[in-house]
Structure 1
Amino acid sequence: MELQERAVGNSQIVNVAFMAVALILGVAGALQMPVVSLFLTRGTGASPMMVGIFYTVNAIAGVGVSQVLARRSDAGGNRRLLILGCCTIAVLNALLFAFNRHYMTLLTLGVVMTSLATTAMPQLFALARQYADEAGCEVVKFSTRMRVQISLSWIIAPPVAFFTLAHFGFTALYLTVALLFALSIVLVLTLLPALHAAPVQAAKGAGMHRATKNRGVGCLFAALALLWGSDTMYLIDMPVYVSGMHGVAEGFAGWLLGGAAGFEILIMLFCTPLVTRFGKRPMMLVAALCAALFYTGMATVNSPLALVAIQLLNAAFIGIVGGIGMLYLQELLPGSPGTASTLYTNSIATGAIFAGLMQGAASEQFGHQAVYWLAMAVSLLALFLLLRVKDA
């Protein structure tokens, strides 16, 4: 009885540790992402096109590096050790951004370090999936709770990021990010399990099974890339666009992002039973439609109150795609949670490849509204691709 109670207690500690690491990594990322375009514009003097090029190069590097590391982890690697390595590089990368203002250094060394650092999150989710399977936890609920931590981080971090910029500057912001990654290293090292992924062996009939699913995986990956690409265009453009609006405080962009993240949590929790009832495909179709409507609103409204109101559509889009997109890929790729999780993350990076250049060109040549009309068209294309994916 005592041993059983001890085992339950240890399991609860590990569960909390996964949530805590997801939250800390999420906060660290959400402190950086909303301000990168401002950092490059103000800190290095980059033009909108140079900002777009940075996002594109960063995304290309991220896709290649994370996919190689995912294959290694699925082939029997120690995922905890891989997460520790990525977090260590993330600390060094944050220090680089804190003290360097040279665009080409950031575009080369910074991009390489960022691509390694961002692999920590998909590997954390892959480790969590493996742990949930072995511990007998409900995978959907466990993964959703971790995803909630990411949304919670976006409630906290963007307002804090813009407040820090206004009062202390970019150096203080990136030093804070470095401290958060250092804290995550301590938690991963002391509390997360050191599970080795079992090398995936093709079972009898698995080749045909994968062949029938490949088309669905390709369409889903492309749809996710388009949806996250439209979101990246929004994240790059919105801070600069909103900060330039007449009568709008500079920190308003942070509150918009934080408010949307708060709604995302509610939507994620609410959509969990709906996924069980209706399936993942219908929910993803709703998300793509919400995205198209949201970007239409961004292109047409110009009052702060209206911008706040349409964040409900943004929250529905991000909440659904963020909550079930990774699970959808994992179910289409059974036996390879690391590859599926990294595919999901790479869909974000792949979206950023075209998003950076498209946003930079559209903003520089036609203005901010053109960016959102473009994002709306991209979301409708994603909706068409999702119609070609069968429910998992």
Structure 2
Amino acid sequence: MRPLPASLKQMTDITSLAFLFIAFLTGIAGALQTPTLSLFLTTEVQTRPVLVGLFYTGSAIIGIVISQMIASYSDKSGDRKMLIIRCCLFGALGCILYAFNRNYFLLLTVGVLLSTFGSTATPQMFALAREHADKTGREAVMFSSILRAQISLAWVIGPPLSFALALGFGFKTMYLSAAIAFVLCSVVVWYTLPSMPKVKQQNSEVVQAPRQNRQAVLLLFIVSSLMWTCNGMYIINMPLYLISELHLPEKLAGVMMGTAAGLEIPVMLIAGYYAQRLGKRKLMHYAIIAGLLFYIGLFFFTSPWVLLVLQLLNAIFIGILAGIGMLYFQDLMPGQAGAATTLFTNTVRVGWIVAGSLAGTVAELWSFHSVFYIAAVMCLVATMCLLRIKIA
């Protein structure tokens, strides 16, 4: 195979750097909003815990419907570059609505719809990156791992910054900052990312996942959904648990999230390096074991420094899931990068649906701490499902 011309190599490098920067921007936009959402709904909108959980559930359901429609279109005839730009601009509008509105039902309908488009930019960016890697001959696993690490880097900065902006300057400033990140992202996408429009395919030409992979895809969907449910319950209840039950400083929640995100970066890179040698299924097993130990640790320890140390286990749990889980779906669904990436992203949303329902209800009936017991049980169920997947 003839080597690429120097000019094309340079263009490829510039495009790859652009992908990394865009991943960081979309990560920042999400990391500014998600960590403080439960606090925003409780203090600014003044809702009960059950309504906080309902908000997460409604957001996830709308997200699944919208993102799956976009994914189906993008795999057949859409131009992912233009989709990403539109999603970023809708996400910016959603942030502006959150900045100036405090009506719960308007946020639950219009706000969630706009935010869903904003969050859908990320899986479309990953799908475009996978196609870019395949086209330019880059090693897809490592490139995707580095790309995903950029989002974790954003989550190192985002949560502490989110709490600092929200508590120091108000939620209006925090949400407007997220809107600026979305707008900047759309500008960078417009000027740097490649346009890869697809010709609409006939039904007979649509690539389908091999039949033997479909059961594995279903089981992997269940495993990923359970793991994201555990993480969702943790994110929803952890800030309120620290403040209401442990009476620890509010900023500790942001520091813990940022610590976990920072540790996720080397975890993702190491997992990407060993993916071919160990197999993605075995790495997912390691992730679930780390998650189980993490939630068991939360049963017994309440000291701030121990909670920070436990974030290493949390980082292994989420780092492998976020990086390898997406690639596992793509391997099981060849030729359907958009659908596979969105299906993985929808496991996050399914996780939020279950987490939103359980976290709010359990907190109101028992305590914020009780959700960690449920998370540990879910890790055990995820392990049993993963054992039934035969494709590594």
Paired residue secondary structure (2:35): helix
* Mapped contact 2:91–2:116 kept (Cα < 8 A): no
Aligned to 1:47: 48
Q: Distance in 2 between matches of 1:202 and 1:227?
A: 35
Aligned to 1:319: 319
* Mapped contact 2:71–2:124 kept (Cα < 8 A): yes
Q: 2:172 is aligned with what amino acid?
A: T
* Mapped contact 1:233–1:371 kept (Cα < 8 A): yes
* Mapped contact 2:246–2:302 kept (Cα < 8 A): no
* Mapped contact 2:241–2:369 kept (Cα < 8 A): no
Q: Which deviations, in whole Å up to 9, do the C-alpha atoms of 1:89-133 show, x marking residues without a partner? A: 001000000000111111111111122221100000001111111
Q: Distance in 1 between matches of 2:305 and 2:142?
A: 34
Paired residue secondary structure (1:160): helix
Structure 1, 131-140 or 341-350: larger mean CA deviation: 131-140
Q: CA deviation at 1:199?
A: 5.1
Matches within 5 A, 1:281-300: 281-300=281-300
Q: Distance in 2 between matches of 1:285 and 1:21?
A: 30
Q: Distance in 2 between matches of 1:182 and 1:53?
A: 29
Q: Distance in 2 between matches of 1:369 and 1:271?
A: 31
Matches within 5 A, 1:66-77: 66-77=67-78
Q: CA deviation at 1:274?
A: 2.2
Alignment CA distance shift 1:119-1:37 (3 Å)? same
Q: CA deviation at 1:200?
A: 6.2
Q: Distance in 2 between matches of 1:8 and 1:213?
A: 35
Aligned to 2:249: 249
Q: Distance in 1 between matches of 2:345 and 2:107?
A: 22
Q: CA deviation at 1:300?
A: 2.4
Q: Which deviations, in whole Å up to 9, do the C-alpha atoms of 1:267-298 show, x marking residues without a partner? A: 11122232221101111011111111111112
* Mapped contact 1:362–1:371 kept (Cα < 8 A): yes
Alignment CA distance shift 1:121-1:104 (3 Å)? same
Q: CA deviation at 1:10?
A: 1.3
* Mapped contact 1:292–1:380 kept (Cα < 8 A): yes
Aligned to 1:135: 136
Q: 2:117 is aligned with what amino acid?
A: L
Matched, 1:227 2:254: no
Q: 1:347 is aligned with what amino acid?
A: T
Matched, 1:115 2:81: no
C-alpha RMSD of matched pairs (Å): 1.7
* Mapped contact 1:280–1:391 kept (Cα < 8 A): no
Q: CA deviation at 1:391?
A: 2.8
Matched, 1:150 2:142: no
Q: 1:216 is aligned with what amino acid?
A: A
Structure 1, 304-313 or 38-47: larger mean CA deviation: 304-313
Paired residue secondary structure (1:180): helix
Q: 2:236 is aligned with what amino acid?
A: I
Aligned to 1:348: 348
* Mapped contact 1:300–1:369 kept (Cα < 8 A): no
Q: 1:125 is aligned with what amino acid?
A: F
Structure 1 unaligned residues grouped into runs of 5+: none
Q: Distance in 2 between matches of 1:160 and 1:131?
A: 32
Aligned to 2:261: 261
Q: CA deviation at 1:326?
A: 0.5
Q: CA deviation at 1:244?
A: 2.9
* Mapped contact 2:133–2:143 kept (Cα < 8 A): yes
* Mapped contact 1:126–1:337 kept (Cα < 8 A): yes
Q: Which deviations, in whole Å up to 9, do the C-alpha atoms of 1:180-225 show, x marking residues without a partner? A: 0010011000000111245567889x76x62211100000011101
Matches within 5 A, 1:358-369: 358-369=358-369
Q: CA deviation at 1:248?
A: 2.3
Q: 1:179 is aligned with what amino acid?
A: I
Q: 1:17 is aligned with what amino acid?
A: A
Q: Distance in 2 between matches of 1:360 and 1:284?
A: 28
Q: Which deviations, in whole Å up to 9, do the C-alpha atoms of 1:23-65 show, x marking residues without a partner? A: 0000110111100000000011011100000000110000011
Aligned to 1:210: 210
Aligned to 2:307: 307
Q: Distance in 2 between matches of 1:315 and 1:242?
A: 19
* Mapped contact 1:98–1:174 kept (Cα < 8 A): yes
Paired residue secondary structure (1:77): coil
Q: CA deviation at 1:245?
A: 5.0
Aligned to 1:370: 370
What TM-score does the superposition give when structure 1 sets the normalisation length?
0.96
Aligned to 1:60: 61
Q: Distance in 2 between matches of 1:152 and 1:92?
A: 25
Q: Distance in 1 between matches of 2:172 and 2:72?
A: 35
* Mapped contact 1:76–1:196 kept (Cα < 8 A): yes
Q: 1:268 is aligned with what amino acid?
A: M
Paired residue secondary structure (2:268): helix
Q: Distance in 2 between matches of 1:37 and 1:116?
A: 20
Q: What is the aligned length?
A: 389
* Mapped contact 1:74–1:198 kept (Cα < 8 A): no
% identical aligned pairs = 42
